[in-house]
Structure 1
Amino acid sequence: MPQHCAANFCSNRRTVDVRARGITFHKFPKGKELRKRWEVSLRREEFTASDSTVLCSEHFKQEDFDKTGQIVRLREGVVPSIFSFPAHLQSLENCRTTETSIKTEAGLSVASRDAPETCRSHPQPQPIDDHDYALPASLTGLTAKLKEALARVEHLEREKTNTMAREERAKTTVKSLLGDLSEKQLITEELKEKLRLYSDVQLIEFMEKQGHGYTKEHREFAFTLHLHGPKAYKYLRETRKFPLPHPHTLQK
């Protein structure tokens, strides 16, 4: 399987066609400190290079190469510096190449006096996952991204369902139905005033109770409505399909 360049937004792979264009590929250094500087230069969140991870030659300056032999090699200690970062990952060019800034980006503790003044006044923005459109280099990384996206979609769907349920519950309060019953002349003004005492009662909870464990407010509302407005009670049960107790249940 052809090796991919590890840099974000770089599509170069180690193939015959790419090599024909003069592009070479170079493994990450074995030295811990230099390898860390390479990793930081890519600005990929939580990225760690393996012994087989490579960068293509398009991310190095011409002076970084030693072309005196038959094989193109990188000079000792060079760090990749040519990338096409999105706006939120860009920072001052002169901050990238200093050892102090590289250690700072890697989270190491370094004396601030070693860093250029322009670098200290412009801290590097942190990557934002929502705007990182580059696909991971490995299948494992791509699978993880997909699972993360699916989990977020599922979370948003639950939020949507919960919001719709809250809206539906708000529409099923006694207060929201009084106007409807009045317009249909199913209750008198006197009964309407009595029912205002239960204006915050959620009628949908009758369904949740399934005939058991009604609160005192639910029982009083049902009794009051059925006693003084049997037509309104029937309208809510049969037309609006609210699961109010059957009149026989009330008599019991």
Structure 2
Amino acid sequence: MVKCCSAIGCASRCLPNSKLKGLTFHVFPTDENIKRKWVLAMKRLDVNAAGIWEPKKGDVLCSRHFKKTDFDRSTPNTKLKPGVVPSVFESPDHLQEKKEKLHCRKNFILKTLPVTNRGHQLVGASCIEEFQSQFIFEHSYSVMDSPKKLKHKLDHVIIELENTKESLQNVLNREKHFQKSLRKTIRELKDECLISQETANRLDAFCCECCESTE
């Protein structure tokens, strides 16, 4: 699965040629304090959860959201310096308009502030007003495509499923045909006294077992 940058409005994807273009992708820090700073710097809220967006395992940010001085280039693999925080983010016009519309909703309530993780408070109550006005409301990136594209993908999956079923049925038909031919051969060998009755019985029992395993 292709990894996408988690920043709002960023279309960067981790592709085979990304590194050649100078684009790198970085997972969120394991240190909860630094991780919190990354999340706050992104100013991203999850409307579905009515709270601050929280990264999942495997979520990444691309190098476009860091300053050049944030990187350690002394090694072959470009790494971020310890403790750096992303600071390069843009707010596209269409997202800004969406933000203003959401702020105009009288009944919209932000429920999950402050951010918590494993029952520990990560953001003090005094920070709520400061950051609430700055966050960009955006749906989860789990639905990135338009309904038309999703319908096209669904149709493609259905076609692939039907083709797989058809291929499987062809395999089963060939298997049954093979078993039928094998039994006929066993009978012919027995009739011509080329194999004993005991051998014929064993081969026939083997065929029966194969039939039961494929049903």
- Normalised by the size of structure 1, how large is the TM-score? 0.40
Q: Which structure has the higher relative contact order (CA within 8 Å, separation 6+)?
A: 2
Which of the pair is proportionally richer in strand?
A: 2
> Which protein shows a greater Rg?
1
Query: So what's the TM-score if we normalise by structure 2?
Result: 0.46
